[in-house]
Amino acid sequence: MEILTIETQPIDGQKPGTSGLRKKTRTFMAPHYLENFIQAIWDGIGGVAGKTLVLGGDGRYFSPQAAQVILRMAAASGAKRVIVGQGALLSTPAASNLIRTRKTDGGIILSASHNPGGIDEDFGVKFNTPNGGPAAEDVTGRIFAATKTITAYKIAEAQDADLSSLGEHAMGDMVVEVVDPVADYADLMEQLFDFDAIRGMIAGGFRICFDAMHAVTGPYAKEVLENRLGAKAGSVKNAIPKPDFGGGHPDPNPIWAKELMEIMHADDAPDFGAASDGDGDRNMIMGPGTYVSPSDSLAVLAANAHRAPAYANGLAGVARSMPTSRALDAVAEKKKLDCYETPTGWKFFGNLLDAGKITLCGEESAGTGSNHVREKDGLWAVLLWLNILASTGKGVVELLHDHWAEYGRNFYSRHDFEGIENDKADAMFDALTLKIEDIAGESFAGRKVIAADDFTYHDPVDGSVAEHQGIRIMFENGGRVVYRLSGTGTVGATLRVYLEDVSDAADAKDRDAQDALSDMIAAAHEIARIEHHTGRTEPDVRA
Ligand code: G6P
Ligand code: ZN
């Protein structure tokens, strides 16, 4: 096998964001773009000679070609073995699981998560470390530094590896091991949850609808929900992964999971509805006629996790990202659990999970997970819900309402303003940063500000510090507004405004969240002068 050394030059903008490097697919397809970044990963982690890696992704457009390039580059740099999901498919949580159980040196996930796929849409590359989690800031920092000094990359002259057939194939001295992407993951789920109880509930007539959104969870959900748990054939919809996700956004929220919303709002709605995203790490949970917000879902799961075998001994602690609602904190307080507040990005949970400080964690962006892997996990969240429903005998809506009655309700919504010009977004944040210095004591929309800051995270495990993680404004009586710029977009800036207000009033369960948040929405616009800076009066998305 001949190894070629190809001269190249640094390419601007290869800085990993909230979750790996995400760009337009055509950008990744441009000469040297992917190769430069992969070489920078190898350099950033001290080379891959003698190492074993995992490789797979959500199957989006360009994944098969990218997988072959990565295999040739791994072979050229002396990797010992690459474990690849058949067809280059692996959901993000399944990849995390394989990285851990096979005791590898890490892995590469090809995905842009919930962003659309296709030649004119998005692609992404993410490196996960041997703990199975997304690389922490020091590692991504070294990778980024390597992209800025690169002069050449190595790639082997080899035929494509056959990724369609299971088993070991040789690429020079390197072994390409093609594995069933689903089996190990499904086995893990069976260890964590009471499958007998869930099977019994389903056999008793409990109906499920899971929308895989033409993305990677289709085969996983079919195996687990239909084959192993007995849900009737067709319970899993849009189950075949497509390179363009059927032309949709594989993002499980009320806007993009429209089909599921319609099914769950129909007169004959199933008892339980759920969806997952492109790479299988996000989740959306519904009961008949009711959408469960991710922040509420996290709180309900934390309050009831002990009903599943894996968590029967209780939780070591819990964590949420800073913009996620504080519904979780109410549970932690009552159950006397430590509750950590991290910046947005799953990677920030890694140290807490590794150190055993937390068992369960989640984010407002539809991610929930536990110490079983080091990624958020869509199907896991679905199964934990099902386990809890089977063990309590309650329906989704009843469980949610009982939760609010016990812990109070945190009304919550996120308003996104997309495609803002970067300089306008920066100007808004500069002004906001100045304004919050002496904002305490002022009132907006009739609500008094009691504190405000630019969130800094001090990692309690390794002492690392992450600054400028979002501006938070706290109001009297539990109101809160948080402003952040998204770190996952590929065009312009997306302003995220997170709105929260607390109520323990008896009628809390009947109120519409947007209506209950009207004070916070008005205050958020007034404080940041969103229209003045961006020209926008209404968000593009209300999540
Ligand atoms: C990805 C990350 C999450 C994050 C979400 C939103 O899904 O894995 O950790 O919460 O993106 O991030 P953003 O920077 O776009 O708000
Ligand atoms: Zn995802």
Burial status of residue 522 (CB atoms within 10 A of its CB: 0-12, 13-18, 19 or more): middle
Say if residue 446 is in the same domain as residue 491: yes
Tokens of 298: 């996290």
Q: How far is the CA of 203 from the centre of ligand 1 (A)?
A: 37
For ligand 1, atom 16, the nearest C-alpha belongs to 486
Measured distance CA(71)–CA(161) in Å, rounded: 8
pLDDT tens, position by position, 81-99: 999 999 999 999 999 999 9
- The packing angle between helices 378-392 and 183-192, to 10°, is 30
Which pLDDT does position 488 carry in this prediction?
A: 75
Average pLDDT over residues 2-23: 93
Q: Is the pLDDT of residue 19 over 90?
A: no
User: Are residues 280 and 367 in contact, defined by beta-carbon separation less than 8 angstroms?
Assistant: no
Residue finishing a domain among 407, 441, 459: 407
Say if residue 402 is in the same domain as residue 290: yes
Does any ligand 1 atom lie closer than 6 A to the CB of residue 344?
yes
- Residues pairing with 412 in the sheet: 500
Say if residue 385 is in the same domain as residue 434: no
Average pLDDT over residues 344-373: 96
Say if residue 310 is in the same domain as residue 285: yes
Does any ligand 1 atom lie closer than 6 A to the CB of residue 113?
yes
Measured distance CA(297)–CA(367) in Å, rounded: 10
Residues belonging to the active site: 113
Say if residue 26 is in the same domain as residue 142: yes
Q: How far is the CA of 131 from the centre of ligand 1 (A)?
A: 20
Q: Is the pLDDT of residue 46 over 80?
A: yes
CATH number assigned to the domain comprising residue 485: 3.30.310.50
Does any ligand 1 atom lie closer than 6 A to the CB of residue 346?
yes
Measured distance CA(90)–CA(86) in Å, rounded: 8
Residue 243, classed as helix, strand or coil, is: coil
Candidate from 22, 58, 346, 416 with most ligand 1 atoms within 8 A of CB, to mutate: 346
Does any ligand 1 atom lie closer than 6 A to the CB of residue 128?
no
Q: Is the pLDDT of residue 504 over 70?
A: no
Q: Please give the C-alpha separations between residue 305 and each of 300, 331, 341, in angstroms, as whole numbers.
A: 8, 12, 20
Amino acid at 449: V
Q: Is the pLDDT of residue 541 over 90?
A: no
Q: How far is the CA of 114 from the centre of ligand 2 (A)?
A: 5
CATH number assigned to the domain comprising residue 241: 3.40.120.10
Residue finishing a domain among 366, 388, 407: 407
Domain extent for 253: 185-407
Q: Is the pLDDT of residue 399 over 90?
A: yes
Instruction: Please give the span between the terminal C-alpha atoms of the chain, in angstroms, as a whole number.
Output: 52
Q: How far is the CA of 510 from the centre of ligand 2 (A)?
A: 31
Say if residue 525 is in the same domain as residue 513: yes
Residue 6, classed as helix, strand or coil, is: strand
Say if residue 488 is in the same domain as residue 415: yes
> For residues 102, 345, 362 and 375, what is the CA-based torsion angle, rounded to 10 degrees?
-10
pLDDT tens, position by position, 433-459: 999 999 999 999 999 999 999 999 999
Q: Is the pLDDT of residue 257 over 70?
A: yes
Residue 249 CA: which ligand is closest? 2
- Number of alpha carbons in the 13 Å side-chain half-sphere of residue 138: 9
- Give 447's DSSP letter: E
Q: How far is the CA of 112 from the centre of ligand 2 (A)?
A: 7
Q: Give the position, in ligand 1's atom list, of the atom nearest the Cα of 346.
A: 9
Say if residue 157 is in the same domain as residue 192: no
Which pLDDT does position 18 carry in this prediction?
A: 73
Say if residue 24 is in the same domain as residue 57: yes
Say if residue 123 is in the same domain as residue 216: no
Least confident range from 116-120, 428-432, 484-488: namely 484-488
Q: Is the pLDDT of residue 65 over 80?
A: yes
Which pLDDT does position 512 carry in this prediction?
A: 87
Measured in whole angstroms, the distance separating CA 48 from the mean position of its chain's CA atoms is 27
For ligand 1, atom 6, the nearest C-alpha belongs to 365
Measured distance CA(92)–CA(303) in Å, rounded: 26
- Tell whether the torsion through CA atoms of 213, 215, 216 and 222 is positive or negative: positive
Does any ligand 1 atom lie closer than 6 A to the CB of residue 469?
no
Residue finishing a domain among 391, 407, 423: 407
For ligand 1, atom 2, the nearest C-alpha belongs to 345
Average pLDDT over residues 165-171: 97
Average pLDDT over residues 523-541: 95
Measured distance CA(431)–CA(536) in Å, rounded: 17
Q: Is the pLDDT of residue 196 over 80?
A: yes
Which pLDDT does position 506 carry in this prediction?
A: 62
Does any ligand 1 atom lie closer than 6 A to the CB of residue 486?
yes
Count of structural domains, the chain: 3
- Name the average pLDDT for the chain: 96
Q: Is the pLDDT of residue 492 over 90?
A: no
pLDDT tens, position by position, 317-351: 999 999 999 999 999 999 999 999 999 999 899 99
Give the 3-state secondary structure percentages of the chain, helix then strand then coil, rounded to 5.
35, 25, 35
Average pLDDT over residues 384-396: 98
Q: What is the ipTM of this complex?
A: 0.96
Per DSSP, helices labelled H in 89-216 are 92-101, 137-149, 183-192, 195-203
Which pLDDT does position 347 carry in this prediction?
A: 87
pLDDT tens, position by position, 463-491: 999 999 999 999 998 999 999 999 877 67
Average pLDDT over residues 157-177: 97
Which pLDDT does position 17 carry in this prediction?
A: 83
Say if residue 402 is in the same domain as residue 426: no
Say if residue 218 is in the same domain as residue 134: no
Q: Give the position, in ligand 1's atom list, of the atom nearest the Cα of 277.
A: 7
